[in-house]
Amino acid sequence: MTTTLTLTQGDITRESADAIVNAANSSLLGGGGVDGAIHRRGGPAILDECRRLRASHHCRGLPAGQAVATTAGNLDAQWVIHTVGPVWSPTEDRSELLASCYRESLRVADELGARTVAFPAISTGVYRWPMEDAARIAVESVRGTSTDVDEVRFVLFDDRAYEVFARRLG
């Protein structure tokens, strides 16, 4: 089974895919950036399910590098896969945690039976991961993961992020 990696520029909440990945924070209760956009457009059903996860399996929140799925509410997708990126550190190498976000999201996608999965550039916003390095880790992690997903689509919000990912994929 081969997985095709594709690129799109724009707002991930406008994408149509089986699963849309959210760069969440460990509270799972919403935030800014992609997270805020997904909850705004997806509606309250997503937050309701996140709250239920916090009340059951994930009472301490979701650790960095892990992933969990909920409904996608009003988004054009069946599921949102929430994953928590690491905060960039200049003194500590957290690359393995960022790679784990991509691997774990694909593992959850396989469990769900999702065939198309849209990813944002995890950790490159509020969590400040440098785009070049984040793109390298994203592409290497997806290419290095054995999955039944047919298409992994990176959805980049701005021109610069798109160009950095395009160079890395090229």
What would the DSSP string read from start to end of 88-144? P-SSS--HHHHHHHHHHHHHHHHHHT-SEEEE--TTSSTT---HHHHHHHHHHHHHT
Nearest to ligand ADP of 89, 146 (CB atom)? 89
- Minimum distance between the CB of residue 16 and ligand ADP, rounded to whole angstroms? 14
Whole-number Å distance between alpha carbons of 122 and 120: 6
Nearer to ligand ADP, 50 or 161 (CB): 161
| 48 among known catalytic residues | no
Q: Tell me how far, at minimum, the Cβ of 1 lies from ligand ADP, in Å.
A: 27
Check 18, 35, 110, 150 and give the catalytic one. Answer: 35
**Whether the Cβ atoms of residue 85 and residue 129 lie closer than 8 Å to each other:** yes
Q: How is residue 96 written in tokens? A: 């393995």
* Residues binding ligand ADP (CB under 6 A): 11-13, 23, 33-35, 37, 85, 120-127, 155, 157, 161
- Least Å distance, CB 86 to ligand ADP, is 9
Q: Catalytic residues, which ones?
A: 35
